[in-house]
A and B are shown apart, each in its own frame.
Chain A
Amino acid sequence: GAGVSQSPSNKVTEKGKDVELRCDPISGHTALYWYRQSLGQGLEFLIYFQGNSAPDKSGLPSDRFSAERTGGSVSTLTIQRTQQEDSAVYLCASSLMRPNTGELFFGEGSRLTVL
């Protein structure tokens, strides 16, 4: 595709429900990041995938959060038993090569609202 695609763009859910957020990176990009951004705040790192290496999950805030990347392409971020504090914009980014030489391309984000 032309850019990083994220879906849904908006998701409203009730507390306690599970949600899945999808990221379709630019074709051929080996690195994929998930970030969380609350209103007016910075980028909170969640998880990083690079090629076939084990993902860096050090930013996941709790065991309710998980992510996978199938076939080195599409990634899904799953939040189980959502809480109100999970409300934020979830941004996905991908890059062609290692960050030393590749810029990150961000998707438009998925805005999650937990009621």
Chain B
Amino acid sequence: GQQVMQIPQYQHVQEGEDFTTYCNSSTTLSNIQWYKQRPGGHPVFLIQLVKSGEVKKQKRLTFQFGEAKKNSSLHITATQTTDVGTYFCAGLVEGSGDKLTFGTGTRLAVRP
């Protein structure tokens, strides 16, 4: 079936370091969404990208959608302890109706 993979599965950084998670799909995505799940919480929507090559920023977070619309990335500059959690991408796979497919997630730990 359709799969959306994320790498790395887990990353542990020192506070102040940068962090990037990559989202890769085997097929073209109509859109990509990003969610953050704090420990013990539920996923919360961060952003949506729709256009090929699109880049959006939210303070220290930069989101990119690949030119081929098969991959995406989330980059956090100068991580803080509040960034701890699991980051999920979710995409609308073209040709599979309108069901959102979630990525495998990247868990971020930040050492203070």
Contact = CB atoms under 8 A, between A and B. Distances in A.
Contact of B100 (A33, A40, A91): A33
B112 interface: no
A100 B105 contact: no
How many A residues touch the partner, as a band?
Answer: 20 to 34
Interface string B88-112: 1010100001111111110100000
A43 B90 CA distance: 10
Contacts of A58: 1
Contact of A104 (B50, B90, B97, B107): B90
B45 A103 contact: yes
Contacts of A106: 42-44
Interface string B11-51: 00000000000000000001101010000001111001010
19 contacts: A33-B99, A35-B102, A40-B107, A42-B103, A43-B105, A45-B99, A45-B102, A48-B99, A50-B98, A50-B99, A56-B97, A56-B99, A91-B42, A93-B43, A99-B98, A100-B50, A104-B90, A105-B45, A108-B42
Interface of A: 31, 33, 35, 40, 42-43, 45, 48, 50, 56, 58, 91, 93, 98-100, 103-109
